[in-house]
Amino acid sequence: MVFLVGFMSSESKEDIISKYELSRRMFHHIWELNKHEDAKSERILTSVAFLSLTAVTAFGIFVSNKISYIISTLNLSFDLILVSFGAFVVFVSLGTFVFLEASLRGFREGISRIENKKTGSDLKSYQPSSLFYFKQIASEKPEMWSKYFGNNITDLLRKACADNVRETFLISKKTARKVKFYKIGKLFFYLAILSLVVLVIAGCYALR
C-alpha cells in the first residue's frame, strides 16, 4: 500500500504549506473520532461492570435463600433464575470479548507493514519510513534521522503531508472497524440486560 500526495513542481512554498495544514486537520479530525469511540466504549464497559455486580448480587441472594422459579414445558423442566443468570454471563462475556477485540487489535494494515525503500546510506537518497509513526521512527538510524531534518523545508513538508494522509487513512480503517464491532458488542449487552430483567422478575415473582 503506497500513499503519494501529488505536488506540482511549480507549486509555491505557500501552496505546499496549505496542503500540509489540510492533511494535518484531516488527521486530527479522524483521530478525535477514534478517541470518541474509545471513550464511548469505556463508558459502556463501566456500565456493564455495574450491571454485572447487580446480577451477581441478585443471583447470590436468590441462591442463598434457595429461591427458584421452575418452568415446565415440552417435557422440560428448568429453573428460570439459573437459566437467565447463565444467559447474562454468556452475553456479557461475548459482548466484552467483542469490545476488547475492537479496541485492542492493532492496525491490520498498519504503517509498520509499509516499508519505504531506503536507497543508499547518504543523506540525499535517504528518506525515513515515517515522520510520525513511532515504530518506524525507532527503526531508523539516529544520525540519519537527525540529519534528514536539515533538508529543504519544502521536502520535509511534502514528506509530512504524505505521512499525514497515510496515517489518516489507516486510522479511518481502524475506526470503521471499531464501530462495526461495537454494534455487535452492544447487541450482546442488550441481550444481557434483558436476561438480567428476566432474572430479577423471576426472583421477585418466586418470593411472592
Q: At what angle do helices 153-207 and 13-64 cross, to 10 degrees?
A: 20
Domain ranges of the chain: 24-107+122-207
Name the pTM for this structure. Answer: 0.75
Candidates 189, 208, 202; CA nearest to 50 is 189
Express each pLDDT in 92-145 by its tens digit: 999 999 998 888 765 544 444 444 444 445 666 777 888 887 778 888 888 888
